[in-house]
Chain A
Amino acid sequence: MKRTILVTGVSRYLGGRMAALLAADPAAEVIGVDVVAPQNPIPGVAFVRADIRNPVIAKVMGEARVDTVVHMGVIATPKQAGGRSTMKEINVIGTMQLLAACQRTPALKHLVVKSTAAVYGAGPRDPALFTEDMEPRHRPSSGWAKDSVEVEAYVRGFSRRRSDVTVATLRLANVIGPAVRTGMTEYLTLPVVPTVLGFDPRLQFVHEDDALAAIGRAVEVRAHGTVNVAGAGVVPLSQVLRILGRPGIAVPAGLVPYLGRAIASRGLADLSGEMIRLLTYGRALDTSAAAALLGFSPRWTSLAAVEDLAAARTDRSASPVGGPVREVRSA
């Protein structure tokens, strides 16, 4: 059966690659949606320039008889959106509009939402590993994490109202890899990496290829449920920096927010509320449910993902251009 898949957030790296991957299947027709056009056209993907914050999206979905929606339009840092209030609007209002459109599209049968492990928060009272049924012990209070908690709540509401639609929510650990740029990769590749004095957080990563593979599997098997997706194992921040060959500088906890603001105002990296909590207390996920629900286990362990990032950084610094390059490439 021919599937019509709508992917949001295709102008950013992961969304673009996801759309291209899905379009590689001849039995799928893929519509990509974003507020701005991708830098390079994505092969096989019909791009629709639409803002998911306004109701135009419902028309697109109805006309194309979309049966699967892959929501990757939640953005992580204010920099990407041009300010925190725009970011919140895109994330929360955008998701509400998208779900409203989904509810009005009778042809829709499957919804896949890319969420984040940040919904679990981070703090000293956390268990070593979070399973999907655990409530956060330190509720996220700002930024991307808080937006994602709200997004998940709206998705659950949608799931109740449209019980005929399978809904898969994937809580991804921090995505890193040779090409993707996230708040985490920006932080890790600062010339000198500030760390919180006296804390060595356990971090967990998912390689960009695995992140895409997991979402792809959720679309393929029409998964229903919420799962954690992360590379096996944890890596302490100190070990990450040693592998990356980056000098770290320990900053007393009380000064980190000020330093974070200084770094953010220079556009270097986003070091704010929830990110600081993560870098203080760390967080790790129990990933055993993903194997059952998706029939998928990440190929890269957290440690291997860090090593791959390190290898890519070494290559790049050796090249004459140098510096981080943002590229949207097709798979």
Chain B
Amino acid sequence: MPEDSRLSASKAARLVGNTGPQPLRRPVETPEQHEQPERRSGPGADGVWSDIELAELTTTDPETWAEFIRRRMSGDYQVDDFGFDPELTDRVLLGLVRPLYRSWFRVEVTGLENVPDDSGALIVANHSGVIAWDSLMTQVALHDEHPAHRHLRMLGANLVFSTPFLGELARKAGHTLACHPDAERLLTAGELVGVWPEGFKGIGKPFAQRYKLQRFGRGGFVTAALRTGAPIIPTAIVGAEETYPMIANSALLARVIGLPYFPITPTFPWLGPLGMVPLPSKWHIHFGEPIATDGYPEASADDPMVVFNLTDEVREQIQQTLYRLLVARPSAFG
């Protein structure tokens, strides 16, 4: 990635201003995109996914499914200590969001070579878009497009695990509570762990602040990475901000329902459930160059200054990548 791509904040603000809803356009290939040396993946020109395993998972063969259902009903499967059900995730849960990934958001993925094949790493990304579709799309991207078909194990807020259905699904899909013991346990086991340090501040921010990273929590993820020596992979997601342009936040309704925010968008809550359909923005997920954490002295995880500096470094790298991707993108819906 070119070093001179760092932009001033004022230029970035102008760029961000250009990303509002625009008429749908045919995708335009920009020269910048061709210059990027990163590994690209996804369906070829004919739209065919070459991968055999993936084809097996998305099969419509009734016998395979009958066998699958029979086994599920008799309880013949295994989940891990976190409640992760890989079979259910691969066959059903990912299958439910895959159409959104491929046809609706047409996610483009770059930088997959920065994600290790078989060791632990911490994926840290920007969070946006009212409903956390961005985390799900990242999970699909790493599973479907990474050569090692990696499962992303995300760390979620405790609100997720106290909410009926949501908590249950999150556990089955491999996610767990954002806390030190779980993060370190997963990283030590060589898993790919996903964190969205902006949390609700990120997905619940108004449209006017799109692509401006919010505060990065308390840097807990950096401590976990330092303790386990796992690299941090700063990840930028472009496109999620335009799925639900949040005009306002009704603090009163949020309090009544017990949610951190209550979004008002051009379509929600005016159109009811229809208003929950995300706008078909064009997405780009870029996995950035890993930041190593294994070179620090022993007690660095307990040194707040090291943790703050590293947190800032990760945040800055994501912010700069966001600006760079925004410059390269022809339009929000292209």
Residues on A lying within 8 angstroms of B by beta carbon are 123-129, 131, 134, 196-200, 202, 233-236, 239-243, 253, 281-282, 284, 303
For residue B79, which residues in chain A have a CB less than 8 angstroms away from its CB?
Answer: 202, 233-236, 239
For residue B179, which residues in chain A have a CB less than 8 angstroms away from its CB?
Answer: 125, 127
Does B218 reach chain A (CB closer than 8 Å)?
A: no
Whether B185 lies near A242 (C-beta < 8 A) is no
Whether A242 lies near B75 (C-beta < 8 A) is yes
Whether A281 lies near B161 (C-beta < 8 A) is yes
Contacts A198-B165, A199-B168 given; does A128 touch B177 at CB 8 Å: yes
- Cα–Cα distance between A198 and B164 once the two chains are bound (Å): 4
Whether B181 lies near A282 (C-beta < 8 A) is no
B191 CB to nearest A CB, Å = 12
For residue A126, which residues in chain B have a CB less than 8 angstroms away from its CB?
Answer: 177
- Cα–Cα distance between A284 and B81 once the two chains are bound (Å): 8
Q: Closest B-chain residue to A253, C-beta based?
A: B164
Contacts A236-B83, A242-B74 given; does A128 touch B185 at CB 8 Å: yes
For residue B168, which residues in chain A have a CB less than 8 angstroms away from its CB?
Answer: 198-200
Residues on B lying within 8 angstroms of A by beta carbon are 72-75, 77-83, 85, 158-159, 161-168, 171-172, 176-177, 179, 181-182, 185
Closest A-B pairs by Cβ, 6 of them:
A198-B164, A242-B75, A124-B162, A243-B75, A124-B161, A127-B181
A307 CB to nearest B CB, Å = 9
- Sample of 16 more A-B contacts, CB < 8 Å, known A129-B181, A200-B171, A242-B72: A124-B158, A124-B159, A127-B179, A128-B176, A128-B177, A128-B182, A196-B164, A198-B163, A198-B166, A199-B167, A235-B79, A236-B79, A236-B83, A236-B85, A240-B75, A281-B162
- Cα–Cα distance between A196 and B161 once the two chains are bound (Å): 14
- Cα–Cα distance between A321 and B83 once the two chains are bound (Å): 38
Contacts A124-B161, A126-B177 given; does A282 touch B83 at CB 8 Å: yes
For residue A134, which residues in chain B have a CB less than 8 angstroms away from its CB?
Answer: 181
For residue B80, which residues in chain A have a CB less than 8 angstroms away from its CB?
Answer: 233-234
- Cα–Cα distance between A123 and B162 once the two chains are bound (Å): 8
For residue B158, which residues in chain A have a CB less than 8 angstroms away from its CB?
Answer: 124-125
Q: Closest B-chain residue to A235, C-beta based?
A: B79
- Cα–Cα distance between A106 and B168 once the two chains are bound (Å): 53
- Cα–Cα distance between A242 and B77 once the two chains are bound (Å): 11
A292 CB to nearest B CB, Å = 17
For this complex, 17 residue pairs linking A to B, each with C-beta atoms less than 8 Å apart, are A123-B162, A124-B167, A126-B177, A198-B165, A199-B167, A199-B168, A200-B168, A200-B172, A202-B79, A233-B78, A233-B79, A234-B79, A241-B75, A242-B73, A243-B74, A281-B162, A284-B81
Whether B83 lies near A124 (C-beta < 8 A) is no
Whether A233 lies near B177 (C-beta < 8 A) is no
B13 CB to nearest A CB, Å = 38
For residue B74, which residues in chain A have a CB less than 8 angstroms away from its CB?
Answer: 242-243
Contacts A198-B165, A239-B79, A242-B74 given; does A131 touch B181 at CB 8 Å: yes
- Cα–Cα distance between A129 and B176 once the two chains are bound (Å): 11
Whether B177 lies near A124 (C-beta < 8 A) is yes
- Cα–Cα distance between A282 and B78 once the two chains are bound (Å): 16
